[in-house]
Chain A
Amino acid sequence: SPRAVNVDLQTDATLQVDISDALSERDKVKFTVHTKSTLPNFKQNEFSVVRQHEEFIWLHDSFVENEDYAGYIIPPAPPRPDFDASREKLQKLGEGEGSMTKEEFTKMKQELEAEYLAIFKKTVAMHEVFLCRVAAHPVLRKDLNFHVFLEYNQDLSVRGKNKKEKLEDFFKNVVKSADGVLVAGVKDVDDFFEHEKTFLLEYHNRVKDASAKSDRMIRSHKNAADDINRIASSLYTLGTQDSTDLCKFFLKVSELFEKTRKIEARVAADEDLKLADLLKYYLRESQAAKDLLYRRSRSLVDYENANKALDKARAKNRDVLQAETSQQLCCHKFEKISESAKQELIDFKTRRVAAFRKNLVELAELELKHAKGNLQLLQSCLGVLKGNT
């Protein structure tokens, strides 16, 4: 299965994780998570378990909720597998089978199946990259929940959050963003973090916009490819019906368009993989980085509040020891977060630059490959058509 392309990760022999297989069932996808490790933590050197999407979310959320990881960029959770649109299309096709010719039906079915397969491959890749990011992280790879996730060969029974829990999450997020506004206003003493804050706020918004616009562009591309498909079919019918010289002509052009539209569809698919997915991924990562900055800001606020409390306690000469302990804890927490956050943000930049480079190069190479393929088909067809005229 294709390795995640969005992230340039150092693969480490001590712990390698990948998704070796996946099965799409009616309303769920079952991922086979395959691990190879020389670490003593595991019972075996190589083993596999089956996991579903909810279990990935559980793992991600457990990282987010863990105070010890406050100073790290938590790898963004993979998006939920969404085959609804594709399934709906296949269903509509089944219903409309009677109204089209056998060739048309077979053709459309093949296309929809290819589309389904593409979505499937993507969701596998995104779940895989999440695990790889965790495995590559010096601290997170040691997480106990992660090891359980990898090794425990029974169902983790992490049923989806019930309504109450979802509501609690909702309020937590509301508070967070309100805080975020407060905290963002405070100018940081540290130049590095001040710069990062400004940078990330703007970058995140722009990546969001670029991601949306690239999606729209790619969808138009797919639509155009579909039109060319219909044109090819019509030309074929015209070719079989015509009694003049045109019949061979139409058949040849129909054949050409069948081939070029396959290439156009591939162009759209590759743009989706190399550009749209890249942007989507860094949308999520930049959000995770923002979350890290937020956590640091929060801990700074806590630290400042602890200082004020200490001053007050000293002034009143009451609960001084308690205040001192509290202040020390806050200070320690803040410094710890700041230290790891700095490194995380530097790593984030390195990863981002590497990923963009890899994908932009591959994008350009694929665009060139497809354009050359198209050109060759067109020129060869023109040669035949002009020769016969």
Chain B
Amino acid sequence: MADTARDPPPAHTDFQELEDGEDLFLEPAVIQESGPASLPAEDISANSNGPKQDSLFDDDPEDLFAEATEEVSLDSPEREVLLSDGPSPAITPITPPTSVITPRIGLAHDDMFTHSSFDEIEEEEGGDSFDMHISVSDPEKVGDGMNAYMAYKVTTKTSMSLFKTDEFSVKRRFSDFLGLHSKLASKYLHIGYIVPPAPEKSIVGMTKVKVGKEDQSSNEFVEKRRSALERYLMRTVKHPILLKDPDVLQFLESSELPRAVSTQALSSAGLLRMVNKAADAVNKMTIKMNESDAWFEEKQQHFENLDVQLRKLHASVESLVCHRKELSVNTAQFAKSAAMLGNSEDHTALSRALSQLAEVEEKIDQLHQDQANADFYLFSELLGDYVRLITAVKGVFDHRMKTWQKWQDSQLLLQKKREAEAKLQFTNKPDKLQQAKDEIKELEGKVQQGERDFEQISKTIRKEVSRFEKERVKDFKMIIIKYLESLVQTQQQLIKYWDAFLPEAKAIS
């Protein structure tokens, strides 16, 4: 459940496809967004960011693209170039990365991977302060039966220069959100960025909606999902790097989003990833890293503790939501019963007072219902979101371990090759010796790269964790205050109701 961030897209997609009630190989009968065939030039072909990107990440550790994505300028002309069709359009403009950055930032950098370039980006963002609000609204059922799905309206309101207009809307379905997350996860997680996890899938919930039951529980499910999607998008765009990602921008702005996920289901890269994930799970258990940096050890422990406590708190709040709902139902039943009692009471004044008591209790039951919603949407969902976010954080720490392992492996291999070369010195095999020397040169490069990668991911994680903690503090403070305000309102209403009832009770004579 908590591993949405690390779900392999193909399995993820298969699931998604099933959930949305479609056959893997057919386009749905009713579609609102993507056209089946050609894509407009400006729209990014999913293929360009899809499997090719994956194969690059998995096979070529020296891929510039890995680091470059976040540093790409997003002024329109550059972006058009970036997003147009091509063998690997995302890569093409990056080869001299600085030339892309320069127009925007106005600074020349030789080495993209130094600390300073990153810092410049951060400062730049400080100037363009975060002013963006995304709302997910108007859930609409599209289609019938098992092929039906919910379409949500995603409205962005912003004054940031990143966008062409300051208010725009698109229609998206749940699998689109999952697709977005999947892309972001595959691009950013393994280099240390905490990618917010997408809301959870729910086959049971979705089936009810499809089957057409317009009842309270399916309405609640849709509302729960709508709210979760909104929070997911807001968290994603609040991340300065993710905000600028072309996939995010396309998701928010593009009127037609290609259902690329169906091709990813069958891609070899997707399957490869699935296999790798399984292998990773086993490897993780065997990596023993010599942690030279106490900061990381401390932080990992901190997140471990936080995870345990948040889950516990979440469970208690969920229990409160449940009992509060029960209280609402039982109060409503009591109200009806009190009304009946009032009806049969033959003393007139008492009869009237009992009827009034019934009315008060009826109002109170609605109050409890409203409070239960606040308990859930404010408090419980906040905790649920953070439980999932912390899983993403832990994942990022794991990636760092893997990066370290890779570096260590390269070093070991280099050492072996050197030993072999030393031995070859004494034999008369000049060809083999040369080959050995060449291999050593290559490996030395790999080792250097491994070290750089490790340092980079460590640096990224430090920044990310700092950012995450700041956000966490803000989030918790803001939402808990809102929650307490909901409690205040409930008490104020209670006072109103009982205040009105008291004279009625006193009037019994």
Contact = CB atoms under 8 A, between A and B. Distances in A.
Contacts of B508: 353, 356-357, 360
Contacts of B494: 367, 371
Nearest to B358: A210
Given A214-B334, A246-B473, A356-B350, A367 B487 contact: no
A223 interface: yes
Given A202-B344, A210-B334, A378-B487, A371 B320 contact: no
B353 interface: yes
B333 A216 contact: yes
A237 B340 CA distance: 47
A174 interface: no
A253 B346 CA distance: 49
A360 B354 CA distance: 9
Interface residues of A, number: 58
Nearest to A379: B488
Nearest to A207: B341
A210 B491 contact: no
Nearest to A220: B327
A382 B327 contact: no
Interface of A: 195, 199, 202-203, 206-207, 209-210, 213-214, 216-217, 219-221, 223-224, 227-228, 230-231, 234-235, 237-238, 241-246, 249, 253, 256, 260, 349, 352-353, 356-357, 360-361, 363-365, 367-368, 371-372, 374-375, 378-379, 381-382, 385-386, 389
Interface string B337-376: 1101101111101100110010000000000000000000
Given A224-B323, A241-B305, A371-B494, A213 B334 contact: yes
Nearest to B312: A234
Contacts, number: 161
B502 A364 contact: yes
Interface of B: 302, 305-306, 309-310, 312-313, 316-317, 319-320, 323-324, 326-327, 330-331, 333-334, 336-338, 340-341, 343-347, 349-350, 353-354, 357, 469, 472-473, 476-477, 480-481, 484-485, 487-488, 491-492, 494-495, 498-499, 501-502, 505-506, 508-509
Nearest to A201: B344
Contacts of A389: 477, 481
A382 B484 CA distance: 7
Contacts of A223: 323, 326-327
Given A213-B333, A223-B327, A368-B502, 12 more contacts: A202-B344, A217-B331, A217-B333, A220-B326, A224-B323, A238-B309, A356-B508, A365-B502, A374-B491, A385-B477, A385-B481, A386-B481
Nearest to A385: B481
A241 B320 contact: no
Given A217-B331, A221-B327, A364-B498, A371 B481 contact: no
A253 B481 CA distance: 10
A227 B302 CA distance: 26
Nearest to B488: A378
Contacts of A243: 302
A189 B484 CA distance: 63
Query: Taking chain B's interface residues, is the majority helix, strand, or loop, or is none over half, making it mixed?
Result: helix
Contacts of A256: 484
Contact of B309 (A241, A353, A368, A386): A241
B505 A360 contact: yes
User: Which of A227, A353, A375 has the most B CB atoms < 10 Å from its CB?
Assistant: A227
9 contacts: A210-B337, A214-B337, A217-B330, A220-B330, A221-B327, A227-B316, A234-B316, A237-B312, A382-B488
Contact of B481 (A227, A237, A382): A382
